A = this chain, B = another copy of it.
């Protein structure tokens, strides 16, 4: 299924794509190369620029995702909702290096973005399709990747008119600490 045809999904203007990551949610990073899909959980990701939109993300050398991204130069950032906590824990708990069947074990439905082969994860609240800007020193030294955001999408029930809408608590974004400690995105602060 193409993400662009889903009735509840809207493209996010590229100069507003940073809004999807600004509040620091945990993400799922999807990747693809030569017929192989993968997904990892990532909290170390942040906006880097408004327009053209860029992001910075840490992708450890000891992950299969790193190998796939180095081959394809592309990845997806999927922002899961509260109701996807099990998927986040699975994606963060299984290594595709130790368990090559990880993608199948996760059992997630994928959506097709505009970057044809990188899967996007169905049921998330927002998505960023990213292209690596090669920076070999930082990649080697710090596992730090800089990427351009080529396309961005959001579930318009949770993100609309440049604002997050978390009326449905089951669809709030999530913040990860470590050791299984997660928090929901909480109440809006109006004063």
Is A43 in contact with B58, judged by CB distance below 8 angstroms?
Answer: no
Q: Which of B24, B135, B184, B189 contacts A189 (CB 8 A)?
A: B184
Q: In the complex, what's the smallest C-beta–C-beta distance from A139 to chain B, in angstroms? A: 12
Is A142 in contact with B185, judged by CB distance below 8 angstroms?
Answer: no
Residues of B within 8 A of A49 (CB): 142-143
Q: Which of B47, B175, B178, B189 contacts A44 (CB 8 A)?
A: B47
Q: Which of A138-187 contact B (CB under 8 A)?
A: 138, 142-144, 146, 162-164, 166, 172, 174-179, 181-187
Residues of B within 8 A of A43 (CB): 22-24, 46-47
State the number of copies, please. Answer: 2
Q: In the complex, what's the smallest C-beta–C-beta distance from A182 to chain B, in angstroms? A: 4
Is B44 in contact with A46, judged by CB distance below 8 angstroms?
Answer: yes
Taking A44-B48, A174-B189, A183-B186 as given, write out 13 further A-B residue pairs in contact, using a Cβ cutoff of 8 Å, ordered by the A residue number: A19-B177, A22-B44, A24-B43, A24-B46, A24-B175, A46-B58, A56-B56, A144-B146, A163-B177, A175-B175, A182-B188, A183-B185, A185-B186
Q: Which of A1-52 contact B (CB under 8 A)?
A: 18-19, 22-25, 43-49
- Expressed in whole angstroms, the Cα–Cα distance for A191 and B22 within the complex equals 25
30 CB < 8 A contacts A-B: A22-B44, A22-B176, A22-B177, A23-B176, A23-B177, A23-B183, A24-B24, A44-B46, A44-B47, A46-B56, A46-B58, A48-B142, A49-B143, A56-B58, A56-B142, A82-B189, A135-B138, A137-B137, A142-B146, A162-B178, A163-B179, A163-B181, A164-B183, A166-B183, A175-B175, A175-B185, A183-B188, A183-B189, A184-B186, A184-B189
